[in-house]
Amino acid sequence: NAKRANVLASDSLLHSRGVELFECDRGGDVTYHGPGQLVGYPIFDLRALRADFPQSADRGDDAPRLLGAVDFVRRLEEVLIRTCSEFGIATARIKGLTGVWTDIVGAHAPSRAAGKIAAIGVHISRGVTSHGFALNVTDEPLRNFELIVPCGITDKPVTSIETELRDVVQPPSAVPSLDDVAQSVARNFGRVFLQQVLWVDTLDQLLGRTVGVPARAPDNERKVAGEDEIFLA
């Protein structure tokens, strides 16, 4: 299929690198998850969220508008843009492309192309989101991005917080820990989605119950229910 065509490495090379291939219902083309990234899979019921956010379209009236799929992706981008900013890295959106990209306007290395620092791919079923984002924190994942055509985009490189802090930010800064980046992302989720963010170890702890909740209903039940699904990247 098209996604497999964008895997450049042979199965033997992938095996030698300890990389496995997985087919999933995440929107978008092939991507990579691995050490050195902060991967977040936020679960939201979009039917419970209003689209009263600056990037949302202005309807010109007072009627509340629920958060749509595109609005949700734009908010994910905003969370990551604000997070990178907290570490001194200027990032932005690129029209027509999903994700977060380094903003080279006014950078100390003007010859560098804008690089993708965070990838986003989501799946929405009956208004509930799954999958999410991967933010490159260290340079470690960049090596394995060479094995694929990330998100099917051939003309833009992949970058990381470590690369930007070393090569662009002046003076160069120390690389934050994954925990520091996770704390920043959590803060910005609260600000962007206007929700309280709580740190818990399990979903049951958050919901105050002891019975586990399946992440996905059985396929036969989903077919009977005729679930509508959306894939975005």
Residues carrying an active site annotation: 151
Nearest to 164 by CA among 175, 153, 154: 175
62-82 burial by CB neighbour count: b if 16+ within 10 A, else e?
Answer: eeeeebbbebbbbbbbbbbbb
For residues 38 and 233, give the distance between their C-alpha atoms in angstroms, rounded to a whole number: 17
Omega within 30 of 0 (cis) for the link into 176: no
CA distance 43 to 193: 12
Q: Which amino acid type is present at position 61?
A: D
Q: What is the DSSP letter of 63?
A: -
